[in-house]
Copies of this chain bind each other. A is one copy, B any other.
Amino acid sequence: MGLLDILFGKPLASGEERTEQLGTLSGVPIFGLDALGSAAYGPEAALTLLLPLGAVGIHYIVPISAAIIILLGIVYFSYRQTIAAYPGGGGSYIVASQNLGDRAGLLAGTALMIDYVLVVAVGIAAGVGALVSAVPVLQAHTLAICVLILFVICFVNLRGIRTTGILFMFPTYLFVACLLTTLSFGFFKALLAGWHPIPAVAAPAPGTAHQAAGAWLFLRSFASGCTAMTGVEAVSNGVQSFRDPKVKHARRTLSVIIFILVLFLAGIACLCRAYQIGATQPGEVGYQSVLSQLTAAVVGRSWFYYVTIASILMVLVLQANTAFADFPRVCRAIAQDRYLPYSFISRGRRLVYSHGIYVLTLLSAALLIAFRGVTDRLIPLFAVGAFLAFTLSQAGMVAHWKRTGGAHAKHSMLINGLGALATAITVLIVIVSKFLEGAWITLIAIPGILFLMRAVRRHYDRAGRELASPFPLPTNNLCPPFVVVPIDGWNKVTQKALRFALTLSPDVFAVQVQTSDEPQDLAKDWKTLVENPTQQARLPVPKLKVLSSPYRTVIHPTVEYIHRLERENPDRAIAVVIPQLVEQHWYERFLHRQRSELLTALLLLESEPRINIINVPWHLCT
């Protein structure tokens, strides 16, 4: 355990949990990184789709961002209500399943799980995108850097949430400070220049597709830009992680996050138009992120530029951490309803749900590798899950208010209903406009995961019915088992096993398998070695059965003998005493035939309920 302690910290007792809780100041980095970090790739995703329009396209970013901000406002008010109504943690899964039924809940849970995997993948990919904008020589190693960062995050999270809260506070506030400074400074510079500042980079050439700038392109750009909103549900998911009063702290945290995000989106859109900054071709040499261009345009490639890029890198990379806090929680909630394996319920040594962390790491690593760590290729998969969860959660809240009633029920229903409608429309826009570019993957994954979860639940239900027994212990038909001892020669291991067998039952059968490769036969010495001493001690006398094996396998004749004995004695349990040599060093295992392990495994896997296996170990001292 020494190594585990050093790596992951000492184990935390269940009672130490209260020390792991959050206030507003520490809540913003934990639950806000996702939403705030989105500002670094949302506007860029929208601008990338406007690339074919060239310089003209950049103008459209302002109305698109305005639409996104309006949507964000609707969602904000909707989630404020969820936090109040579900102080124990109102994730989309819980809200949807409690108010719309199990099916809707499972759908929401699935959508969230997919969303979190993509938060991790996109966050890391965009962060590394910022890094290679500042240090172009690293561009060739994009994927390797992405995977390395992923594993570091996984490791930090296995140590527990409080450590991560402290670790992530500084970069978040640095990022907010840097970006707000850049935006305000840029704003004043533009104002002084009569709102027509000279572009710091060469303006992009006019595009070749002016005529295509219709509603379709606008919709697709909006769908991509909506990824800027992902993560705003995080606070409502984790209300139970806040200090008391939980609801107040959670709501205040959400307000701070949304306020900053709106400033970011509005500022980026206006300055991009003012400074004529568009996207560059993603995944290609010469790629530069929009925020990198913007910062360079405002402050030049000064030390401030590098600090800003560093804070963007840190925040985008650590945004993945939001998912690492929430994904295991969603898995746990689903597992508690027995739609996922039990192991997602247990907390590990450091009070974190280790299994959820492992699964999230594996899935997002797969995504990063499949899409070579390029943000723009991941974006089309992204928004479906997030907005589907939004919709179900808010539709669930409508049902909640309808059910609970109360003074402000009508008013609350209206707010949540508006949220549900707006996000539902967005889901449709995203699916239709991004279908071929990757949304289809999400649309296939959702029913696949739903099917698996239902299968898990079915298995648990059936197993539960099979095993359940409210009755007291049945005491009929209890008599000692027939004990079978497979032996391969006369030595201390055999003797120990035989002695143990004699303490268990009066019916002991020793079995030896004779092959042409191992011709030893105990029959001729059995009388002196075993029968005489047991008779003298008035003990039951073990019988010896020597089996021959034409095919030289020792295991199968033994198993056959045991099965025959079982068939011939339908009223008795069988206990197979397996002498087992335990080596001191793992490499010594190659030196001894692992027959006892093989026999144990074979007997356990055969569905014979009356056969029990007894391992009598002999620990080699040499």
**A residues neighboring B (CB under 8 Å):** 11-15, 341-343, 345-349, 456, 459-460, 462-463, 465-470, 472-475, 478-481, 490-493, 495, 498-500, 502-505, 515-517, 528-530, 532-534, 536-537, 539, 550-552, 573, 575, 580-582, 588, 590-593, 600, 604-605, 607-609, 611-622
Contact = CB atoms under 8 A, between A and B. Distances in A.
A459 B492 CA distance: 17
B478 A503 contact: yes
A478 B459 contact: no
Contacts of A614: 575, 612-615
B617 A612 contact: yes
Given A474-B495, A503-B478, A618-B467, A14 B516 contact: yes
A600 B615 contact: yes
Nearest to A469: B492
Given A472-B529, A473-B530, A478-B503, 9 more contacts: A14-B551, A342-B592, A345-B517, A347-B517, A473-B529, A475-B534, A478-B539, A500-B612, A612-B616
Q: For the complex formed by this chain, how many copies does it contain in all?
A: 2
Contact of A537 (B463, B475, B617): B475
Nearest 7 pairs between A and B by C-beta? A462-B622, A13-B550, A475-B537, A14-B516, A467-B491, A607-B619, A613-B615
Contacts of A534: 473, 475
A349 B551 contact: yes
Contact of A500 (B481, B588, B616): B481
Contacts of A495: 469, 473-474
Contacts of A472: 528-530, 532-533
Nearest to A536: B475
A469 to B, nearest CB: 5
Nearest to A350: B551
Contacts of A466: 492, 620-622
Nearest to A504: B504
Given A472-B529, A529-B473, A534-B475, A615 B619 contact: no
24 contacts: A14-B516, A14-B551, A341-B591, A341-B592, A346-B517, A349-B551, A459-B588, A459-B622, A462-B622, A468-B492, A469-B490, A469-B495, A472-B530, A472-B532, A474-B533, A475-B502, A475-B539, A504-B504, A582-B607, A608-B619, A611-B617, A612-B614, A613-B617, A614-B614
Nearest to A617: B604
A481 B11 CA distance: 35
Nearest to A621: B466
B468 A491 contact: yes
Contacts of A528: 472
A217 to B, nearest CB: 46
B492 A593 contact: no
Given A13-B551, A604-B582, A469 B491 contact: yes
Contacts of A618: 467, 609
Contacts of A551: 11-14, 349
A382 B605 CA distance: 48
A616 B604 CA distance: 9
Given A517-B345, A592-B342, A499 B474 contact: yes
Contacts of A607: 582, 619
Nearest to A534: B475
A346 B516 CA distance: 9
Contacts of A609: 617-619
A591 B13 contact: no
Contacts of A469: 490-492, 495
Contacts of A11: 551
B481 A503 contact: yes
A493 B473 CA distance: 11
Contacts of A580: 604
A529 B470 CA distance: 9
A599 to B, nearest CB: 12
Nearest to A620: B463
Contacts of A616: 612
A498 B473 contact: yes
A528 B470 CA distance: 11
Given A473-B534, A620-B466, A502 B478 contact: yes
Q: Which of A530, A582, A615 has the most CB of B within 10 A?
A: A615
A540 to B, nearest CB: 10
Nearest to A490: B469
Contact of A475 (B463, B533, B552): B533
Contacts of A621: 466
B604 A615 contact: yes
Nearest to A616: B612
A534 to B, nearest CB: 6
Contacts of A460: 591
